Amino acid sequence: MPDYDLLVLGGGTGGYAAAFRAAQLGKRVALVEQEKVGGTCLHWGCIPAKAMLESGDLLAKIGKAADFGIQIPPATGIDTTVVGARRDKIVAKMHAGLKSLFKKNNVELIAARGTIAAPGSIKVALVDEAGQPTGEERTITATDIVIATGSSVRSIPGLETDGKIIVDSDDIVTGTLHPKRVIVVGGGAVGCEFASYFRDIGAETTIVEMLPALVPLEDRDASKELARAFTKRGIAIHVAHRISEGSLVRSADGVTLSIEPIDGSGAATPLSADLLVIAAGRVPNSGNIGLENTAATVERGFITVDAQMRTKQEHLYAVGDVIGGLQLAHVAAHEGLIAAHAIAGQPIHAMNYAKQPRATYCRPEVASVGATTQELERDGVPFVAGVMPFAAIAKAHIGGDSDGFCKVLRHAESGALLGVHMVGPKVTDLIAEASLALELGATAEQVGGTTHPHPTLSEVLGEAALVSLGRSVNF
């Protein structure tokens, strides 16, 4: 008899979601993790980064205090040591809560590095509280195994990090960096978030992105609005640019480099900074975990799975960043639940990746769900767009932030909701309604016909839906 019904390899969001749900469904479950449970999101991504961004946002808000009739001395700066301490306190609290859920759900937590020795068998090398090997090894068997080993920061040859002058996201969210001049390489969600944070705490900030737009996976109008807002804040943006080969020079004081257009047109532009941030995406942690001892297949480092998260190896599943896709914590959690239900033979709430919400926590925030304008045009889908600016929403003015918009895309014939794209205040919260509407197959008529309380920011979605129908009475 196997030691467990289910063994989960990796304690990030997807891993512990699979473990907890399988245990709730009556399975004997253990989870193997060599570091802290919670994974990238809790310790090196979502939570610490957003805690830091909140400090930056508050500093920006304080700068507008006089507009609200509040007389306080002008803010002279920010203590990043305190920012870091607050961030670490939040992470520690969430980590403690997560560990308690292992006991609550009767899931055994094994502190070890795990490697698949054979189908249904994992060799574990135990580690101590500091994550260092103890020298003790053993083999654990299970009927089913879920791989949830996550991803790691992508490195760029020639731009190797040192944790001081050239850094990645891990260095930022575990440190107390307070640079005067910053260059961010990468204009995706991570790059834009850190650019926003460093600008808020007073740094001269520049973004270099190889693709033609910031947050290139978002709707083109959202990308344009974010670029406009960033430029307004004094963030320099160079899209469709790359670092000139051999131009990087690092010193004890910082870096100098040149950037050039991707298409080869135009002259190189010299840049200098005391901090270079590498935000070039993430790579899957699929190596050195024993996949060669299974029938599982890998494409570009990502483990291939079917709709039930099953690999080519019977009784072997994979979830989260290691399978690619959107690489978002909430998506990984859903994948973990799917795997648990498949293992337990329970009904599955299928994953529709086209309906998963996306959120970027810079200032202004960016959030979306569903198809973009460019995707609908590419696929020849007839659609109508409705755009409602936050400038027409009273609560946005009350809060002192009326930049941005909500864009609703509906099918031109059926009226079905196809996509929602937002830039502006609190849109990472507001997108939840749009996500639910899309999941339930709602129409623009139904969204626009739903009463939204006044005055609230939520009105922007209902009004945008009405604009798409030509029925807005407020814009």
Instruction: Give helix 459-468 / helix 427-439 axis angle, nearest 10°.
Output: 50
107-118 and 29-33 strand pairing: parallel
Count of CB atoms situated within 10 Å of the CB of 91? 20
Question: Is-contact 142 30, C-beta < 8 A?
Answer: yes
- The amino acid at 475: F
For residues 132, 137, 143, 147, the Cα torsion angle rounded to the nearest 10 degrees is 30
405 burial (CB, 10 Å; 0-12 / 13-18 / 19+) is buried
250 burial (CB, 10 Å; 0-12 / 13-18 / 19+) is middle
Q: How many residues does the chain have?
A: 475
Measure CA 451 to chain center: 31
DSSP 42-92: HHTSHHHHHHHHHHHHHHHHHTTGGGGT---PPP----HHHHHHHHHHHHH
DSSP, collapsed to helix, strand or coil, labels residue 349 as: coil
Question: Is-contact 358 218, C-beta < 8 A?
Answer: yes
Distance CA(430)–CA(443), nearest Å, equals 18
Pick the catalytic residue from 341, 349, 397, 454.
Answer: 454
Report residue 357 as tokens. Answer: 């919400």
* Contacts of residue 475, Cβ cutoff 8 Å, sequence gap at least 6: 388, 389, 392, 463, 467
Question: Is-contact 20 105, C-beta < 8 A?
Answer: yes
Distance CA(407)–CA(372), nearest Å, equals 10
Question: Is-contact 4 25, C-beta < 8 A?
Answer: no
Angle at 238 between CA 232 and CA 242, to 5 degrees: 160
Distance CA(316)–CA(21), nearest Å, equals 17
Phi and psi dihedrals of 296, rounded to 5? -65, 145
Active site includes 421?
no
Report residue 51 as tokens. Answer: 């805690």
What distances in angstroms separate CA 207 from CA 240, 292, 338, 427, 428, one per listed residue? 11, 40, 38, 23, 22
The set of catalytic residues is 454
